[in-house]
């Protein structure tokens, strides 16, 4: 992939500063608001906490969760609730995903990835398509992850691809191997479909 950059060994603070730079660049290019999407799960929140403190003009930023568990926002498993708790006080508008959302073109789509190659909540069982006509879908993972056995709501592949750039933060050798196979065109898991269709810059922190 000519549009892929791999960055190894970056700390959470390094990644937060990199993300802040990208958001500032997007803000400098428009007098209005910019939209970004951020992931949930265990890896991103220490980075999001640092990102909140970088001095971005958050009042001009709309933050979309890439996906969420279908639970109340005050539930511990809610990505939206945790994102809102960190970025809301900084001034960001945090969107609650519904299936009727009109999804914007994102300045930045920040994603995680599972060992099975899922991105957002686009699991292999959901057979995500790059020509999906829906911007947001509700999905029941099969099998249900035991650590988060909930129905999901997620941006679709076209919504993620409607971004100026994609960035992944991936931890662990198994996930790195899955990503490398996908980037090399050696699999057809959801992340592989996304990467195959991506024409914008893609950065992966490993």
**Higher-confidence position of 165 and 146:** 165
The mean per-residue pLDDT over the stretch 23-33 comes to: 97
Q: Does the pLDDT at position 136 exceed 90?
A: yes
Q: Does the pLDDT at position 148 exceed 90?
A: no
pLDDT at position 146, please? Answer: 85
The mean per-residue pLDDT over the stretch 72-98 comes to: 96
The mean per-residue pLDDT over the stretch 83-98 comes to: 97
Q: Does the pLDDT at position 189 exceed 90?
A: yes
- How many CA atoms does the CB half-sphere of 5 hold within 13 Å? 8
pLDDT at position 41, please? Answer: 85
Query: Between the CA of residue 10 and those of 48, 167, 203, 206, what are the distances in Å?
Result: 15, 13, 12, 8
The mean per-residue pLDDT over the stretch 166-170 comes to: 98
Distance CA(166)–CA(168), nearest Å, equals 7
Report the percentage of the chain scoring pLDDT > 70: 100
Residue pair 155/103 in contact by the 8 Å Cβ criterion: yes
Going along the chain from its start, the domains and CATH numbers come out as 4-205 (3.40.50.1360)
pLDDT at position 101, please? Answer: 83
pLDDT digits (tens, 9 = 90+) for 32-66: 999 999 999 889 999 999 999 999 999 999 999 99
Handedness of CA 61, 179, 199, 120 (dihedral sign): negative
> What is the largest distance, in Å, between two alpha-carbon atoms of the chain?
45
Structure tokens at 57: 């003009």
Q: Does the pLDDT at position 154 exceed 90?
A: yes
Q: Does the pLDDT at position 67 exceed 90?
A: yes
User: Is residue 1 very low, low, confident or very high in pLDDT (cuts 50, 70, 90)?
Assistant: confident
Mean pLDDT of the chain: 96
């Amino acid at each position: 992939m000519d549009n892929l950059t791999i960055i190894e060994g970056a700390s959470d603070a390094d990644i937060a500063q990199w993300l802040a730079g990208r958001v500032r660049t997007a803000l400098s290019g428009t007098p209005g608001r910019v939209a970004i999407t951020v992931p949930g799960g265990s890896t991103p929140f220490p980075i999001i906490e640092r990102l909140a403190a970088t001095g971005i003009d958050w009042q001009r930023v709309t933050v979309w969760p890439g996906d969420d568990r279908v639970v109340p926002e005050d539930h511990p498993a809610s990505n939206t609730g945790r994102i809102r708790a960190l970025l809301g006080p900084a001034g960001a508008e945090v969107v609650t995903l519904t299936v009727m959302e009109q999804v914007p073109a994102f300045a930045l789509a920040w994603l995680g990835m599972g060992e099975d190659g899922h991105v957002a909540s686009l699991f292999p069982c959901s057979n995500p398509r790059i020509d999906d006509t829906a911007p947001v879908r509700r999905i029941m993972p099969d099998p249900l992850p035991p650590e988060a056995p909930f129905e999901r709501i997620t941006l679709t592949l076209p919504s993620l691809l409607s971004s100026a750039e994609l960035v992944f933060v991936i931890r662990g050798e198994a996930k790195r191997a899955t990503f490398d196979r996908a980037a090399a065109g050696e699999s057809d898991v959801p992340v592989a479909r996304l990467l195959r269709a991506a024409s914008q810059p893609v950065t992966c922190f490993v």
